[in-house]
Amino acid sequence: MENPPENATNYDPSRYERPSVTVDVVIFTLQQRELHVLLVQRSRWPFEGFWALPGGFINMDESLEESARRELEEETGVQNVYLEQLYTFGNPGRDPRMRVISIVYFALVQADKQILRSSDETPNVCWFPIRELPVKLAFDHEQILDYAVSRLSSKLEYTTLAFQLLPEVFSILELKDIYEQILAEKLDKGNFYRKIKETGILEDTGQVREGRGRPTRLWRFRGSHPEKQFVFRWREDKVDKSDRQARDAESQE
Amino acid sequence: MENPPENATNYDPSRYERPSVTVDVVIFTLQQRELHVLLVQRSRWPFEGFWALPGGFINMDESLEESARRELEEETGVQNVYLEQLYTFGNPGRDPRMRVISIVYFALVQADKQILRSSDETPNVCWFPIRELPVKLAFDHEQILDYAVSRLSSKLEYTTLAFQLLPEVFSILELKDIYEQILAEKLDKGNFYRKIKETGILEDTGQVREGRGRPTRLWRFRGSHPEKQFVFRWREDKVDKSDRQARDAESQE
DNA sequence: TGACTTATTGTGAATTACACACTAAGTATA
DNA sequence: TATACTTAGTGTGTAATTCACAATAAGTCA
- Does residue A90 lie in a domain region? yes
Query: According to the model, what pLDDT value does residue A239 have?
Result: 38
pLDDT band at residue B250 under the 50/70/90 scheme: low
Distance from C-alpha of B253 to C-alpha of B139, rounded to nearest angstrom: 10
B70-96 mean pLDDT: 90
Q: Nearest-CA distance from A49 to chain B in Å?
A: 13
Q: Among A141, A156, A171, give the residue marking a domain's end.
A: A156
Does residue B232 lie in a domain region?
no
On whether both A170 and A151 belong to a single domain, the answer is no
Judged by CB atoms closer than 8 Å, whether chains meet at A92 and B158 is answered as no
ipTM associated with this complex: 0.79
Average pLDDT for B219-247: 51
Q: Are residues A137 and A114 in the same domain?
A: yes
Question: Packing angle between helix B141-156 and helix B242-252, nearest 10 degrees?
Answer: 170
User: Within this chain, do residues B26 and B136 fall inside the same structural domain, yes or no?
Assistant: yes
Minimal C-alpha gap between B138 and chain A (Å): 12
Q: Do A169 and A206 share a domain, yes or no? A: yes
E strands within chain B?
Answer: 20-31, 34-41, 51-52, 55-57, 82-89, 100-109, 125-129, 169-170, 202-209, 216-221
pLDDT along chain A (253 residues), means of 10: 45 66 94 85 91 94 95 83 94 92 94 64 79 88 94 79 89 91 88 89 92 93 53 46 46 40
Regarding whether A137 and A49 lie in a shared domain, the answer is yes
pTM over 0.90: no
B:161-200 Cβ neighbours of strand D under 7 Å: 188-191, 195
- Residue B33's pLDDT band (cuts 50, 70, 90): confident
Domain that holds residue A172: 161-221
Please say if the pLDDT value at position B71 is more than 70: yes
Q: Write down which residue in A156, A178, A212 finishes a domain.
A: A156
Residues in CB range of A174: below 8 A, 6 or more apart? A33, A166
Identity of the residue numbered A133: L
Number of structural domains chain B divides into: 2
Residue B29 in domain: yes
CA angle B199/B205/B210 to nearest 5° reads 110
**Residue A131: inside a domain:** yes
Closest CA to A23 of A144, A146, A197: A144
Could you tell me if A136 and A172 lie in one domain?
no
Which of chain A's residues have a Cβ under 8 Å away from the Cβ of B139?
none
Is the same domain home to A90 and A67? yes
Q: Identify the residue among B1, B9, B12, B20 best suited for mutation to test binding to A, counting A beta carbons within 10 A and taking the highest.
A: B20
Distance of CA A93 to the CA centre of its chain: 25
**Which stretches within A54-93 are classed as H helix?**
64-76
Output the domain CATH number for residue B193.
1.10.10.10
List helix spans (H) across chain A: 64-76, 141-156, 172-183, 189-199, 242-252
Cβ contact (<8 Å) for B97 and A12? Answer: yes
CA B230, C1' D24: Å apart?
30
- DSSP letters along B132-193, please? S--SSBSTTHHHHHHHHHHHHHHHHTTSSGGGGGS-SEE-HHHHHHHHHHHHTS---HHHHH
Mean pLDDT score, B187-195: 92
Q: What residue type is assigned to position B49 of the chain?
A: G
What gap in Å lies between CA A40 and CA A122, rounded to an integer?
Answer: 7
> Residues with Cβ < 8 Å from A183, sequence gap 6 or more?
A153, A156, A157, A234
Same domain, A214 and A120: no
Residue of A46, A71, A76 lying closest to A56 (CA atoms): A71
- Cα distances (angstroms) measured from residue A221 to each of A169, B75, B237: 8, 48, 21
d(CA B156, CA B178): 10
- Would A215 be classed as within a structural domain? yes
Residue B246, domain member (yes or no):
no
Last residue of a domain, one of A105, A136, A156: A156
Between CA B234 and CA B213 the distance in angstroms is 26
| A88 and A173 fall within a common domain | no
Assess whether B166 and B152 both reside in one domain. no
Stretch B126-141: mean pLDDT, rounded? 90
Please, which residues have CB within 8 angstroms of residue A213's CB and are 6 or more apart in sequence? none
pLDDT of residue B45: 86
D6 C1' to A207 CA distance, Å: 20
Confidence of residue B200 (pLDDT cuts 50, 70, 90): confident
State whether A151 and A196 are in the same domain.
Answer: no
Select from A98, A100, A239 the Cβ nearest to the Cβ of B231. A239
Considering the domain boundaries, does residue A37 fall inside one?
yes
Tell me: the pLDDT tens digits for A207-235? 999 989 999 999 998 865 433 334 455 54
Q: Which of B216, B238, B43, B26 is nearest to B133 (CA)?
A: B26
Buried/exposed A201-239: b ≥16 CB within 10 Å, e otherwise: bbeeeeeeeeeeeeebebbbbeeeeeeeebebbbeeebb
pLDDT of B225 strictly over 50:
no
Contacts of B32 (CB under 8 A, 6+ apart): none
Average pLDDT estimate for B174-196: 89
All protein residues with a CB under 7 A from any atom of strand C: A 188-191, 195, 210, 212-215, 235-237; B 171-173, 189-191, 193-194, 197, 208, 211-217
Amino acid (1-letter code) at residue A111: A
In a domain, B112, yes or no: yes
Q: Is the pLDDT of residue B229 over 80?
A: no
CATH of the domain at A149: 3.90.79.10
B131 and B202 fall within a common domain: no
Contacts of residue B98 in chain A, CB cutoff 8 Å? 13-14
CB under 8 Å to A143, separation ≥6 — which residues? A89, A249, A250, A252, A253
Helices B189-199 and B172-183, packing angle to 10 deg? 110
pLDDT at A5: 45
